[in-house]
């Protein structure tokens, strides 16, 4: 158990932090997830390399979504008043910790849909089912999350241009 925890705690913390902006809540959800992982290990079926990591990730994502539902913060935020152009944004030039913090600052609904779509590879239909929203709401939230991130990245690039 100690080896499993040591090997995956950092990765699973990062997964959880993508959904929950509050560090204390991340710790709580991660603790609950590891308890569930350890208690359910006998039900895990090995399906090749990466299957354990994927299984544990699914438990953490589900725990994060459950925490959001408990807080009742998954209701989606107001749509941005002015759409932001979605031209190519140089994500690769932004340091990973900065980009992660930007994702954590997204409103709950935007952040949740963005993470499920981008990192968990869920379709808008799957996201709609998971969150109890309409597919077009999921697509709209993703669009606005990407637009807001693009705006923040452009602002970051302006203030950090050439070192």
**CA separation for the pair 118, 66 (Å, rounded):** 19
Are residues 126 and 95 in contact, defined by beta-carbon separation less than 8 angstroms? no
Three-state secondary-structure class, residue 163: coil
Q: pLDDT per residue over 22-58, tens digit each?
A: 999 999 999 999 999 999 999 888 888 889 999 999 9
Q: Which CATH number fits domain 2-71: 3.30.70.260, 3.40.50.620, 1.10.1740.10, 1.10.3810.10?
A: 1.10.1740.10
Q: pLDDT per residue over 57-66, tens digit each?
A: 999 999 999 9
DSSP designation for 81? S
- 125 CB-contact burial (10 Å; exposed 0-12 / middle 13-18 / buried 19+): exposed
Range 1-26 average pLDDT = 93
pTM to 2 decimal places: 0.75
Q: Which CATH number fits domain 91-159: 3.30.300.10, 3.40.50.300, 3.40.50.2000, 1.10.10.10?
A: 1.10.10.10
**CA separation for the pair 130, 113 (Å, rounded):** 10
């Amino acid at each position: 158990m100690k080896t499993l925890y040591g090997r995956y705690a950092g990765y699973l913390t990062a997964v959880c932090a993508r959904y929950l902006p509050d560090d204390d809540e991340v710790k709580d959800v991660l603790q609950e997830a590891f308890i569930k992982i350890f208690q359910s290990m006998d039900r895990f079926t090995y399906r090749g390399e990466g299957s354990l990591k994927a299984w544990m990730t699914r438990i953490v994502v589900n725990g994060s979504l459950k925490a959001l539902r408990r807080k009742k913060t998954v209701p989606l935020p107001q749509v941005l008043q002015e759409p932001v152009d979605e031209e190519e944004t140089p994500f690769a030039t932004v340091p990973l910790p900065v980009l992660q913090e930007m994702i954590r600052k997204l409103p709950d609904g935007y952040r949740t849909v963005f993470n499920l779509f981008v990192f968990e590879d869920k379709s808008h239909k799957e996201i709609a089912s998971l969150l109890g929203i309409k597919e077009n709401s999921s697509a709209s939230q993703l669009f606005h999350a990407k637009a807001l991130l693009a705006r923040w990245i452009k602002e970051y690039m302006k203030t950090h241009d050439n070192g």
